[in-house]
Structure 1
């Protein structure tokens, strides 16, 4: 009897995890596609004065960092350990400049730094416009239902 309950609970938990992770993976893929569409051509470096406004991982090999509210950079790495799960990141820089092939993304004390292999500026206005466009809701009036005779 106890074994059946345990098996039932494990089956239910597995089903819930499977259902919950699918839309999340779809949303993550969409966010990655949005950022890649809004990113400009590759460049060798960008100015960085030591403060990150915000950041978001877009997979093991891609992240976006905001240096100001309307200034973002799409960084490609060789693959960072725990990038999706870390609470904070850091960037190395030399003379207030982050450069491809030289500077790194830091994810924690125990993890190896990830070398930045690509830098692309993100057009934040374009990104926000595409996200707002997808959020529009189609409204349709409900069909009138006949009143129940009683």
Structure 2
């Protein structure tokens, strides 16, 4: 009987330790990623130069995204309200006026299988310090608070 009583706390401790490991390697949620990007964002700007090419983008919930225009140049776009299906979008488009994207005037449109494409107006544009974000992610991975990026 004593063995049984001692085995249960040991088993419980092992289970908790394993679940802690599993949670520590979990993917950052949208709110955590948005906080990380905001931490490394500059002062808001009215517009940025855009040559019609998106180098990459990351949805940060349903009302913000990080948009890369070059490998080392990115902007945090905070949208005016909720943008339907942004979290699940396969692709997006960004409007511009003569090669510039303006806050409160231009919009992000989610492209996909929905028949109605609802434009999501850009409320605020913040330039991102891409090097600082990459360093923070690297530091978080080495500290075990962020998962390693998926390998192709």
Of residues 115, 119, 123, the one that matches 2:129 is 123
Deviations 1:19-63 (A, max 9, x none): 99xx44x53332211111011110100000000000010011100
TM superposition score normalised by structure 1: 0.72
- What residue number does 1:32 align with? 34
Count of residue pairs brought into register by the alignment: 117
**Which residue in 2 is equivalent to 1:62?**
64
- Contact map agreement 1:81 1:111 (CA 8 A) in 2: no
RMSD: 1.9
Q: Which residue matches 1:84?
A: 87
Find runs of 4+ consecutive structure 1 residues off by over 3 angstroms: none
| 1:137 positional shift | 4.8
Greater RCO between the two (CA within 8 Å, min separation 6)?
Answer: 2
Secondary structure at the counterpart of residue 110 of structure 1: coil
From the superposition, tell whether residues 134 and 92 of structure 1 become closer, same or farther in structure 2 (CA, over 3 Å).
same
Calculate the TM-score normalised by the size of structure 2: 0.71
Q: Tell me which structure has the larger Cα radius of gyration.
A: 1
Unaligned runs of 5+ residues in structure 1 are 1-18, 139-150
